[in-house]
Amino acid sequence: MPVNRQTVRELSRTTLYNITSSGQAWRAFLDAAARLYKYSFPEQVLIYAQEPEATACAAKEVWYTRMKRSLRPDAQAIALPDPHSHFGRLK
């Protein structure tokens, strides 16, 4: 299923509603956000929405070149809005 910017916005809205609905859900989000401290709050929300157990998030090229790691064949991408794009692209 192709992911577009509108789908990502809706995912962000529903996730924000879900994590603020109870103290337990908020604590679960904070636990995930603590592992992803280098990202902005909106990016943390989207990463949590797509992969709550994520411990790190980076572009494929970063995993291969700087981190010298390979990705599992079944690994799925996490869509985040590109703040530098004027056309609403996802990174």
Q: What percent of the chain has pLDDT over 70?
A: 85
pLDDT(3) > 60: yes
Burial class, 16, CB count within 10 angstroms (exposed 0-12 / middle 13-18 / buried 19+): middle
* Spatial separation of the C-alpha atoms in residues 75 and 47, rounded to whole Å: 14
What are 18-27's contacts with CB under 8 Å, separation 24+? Answer: 19/45, 19/48
Task: Name every residue whose Cβ is closer than 8 Å to that of residue 75 and which is 6 or more positions away in sequence.
Answer: none
pLDDT(22) > 60: yes
Q: What is the mean pLDDT of residues 30-43?
A: 90
pLDDT digits (tens, 9 = 90+) for 37-75: 888 898 899 889 988 988 888 777 887 888 888 888 887
Round the average pLDDT of the chain to a whole number and report it: 82
**Looking at residue 1, what is its pLDDT?**
45
Q: Is the pTM of this model over 0.75?
A: yes
Helices (H), 1-91: 5-19, 23-35, 41-50, 60-65
Domain spans of the chain? 1-91
**Angle of helix 5-19 versus helix 23-35 axis, rounded to 10:** 120
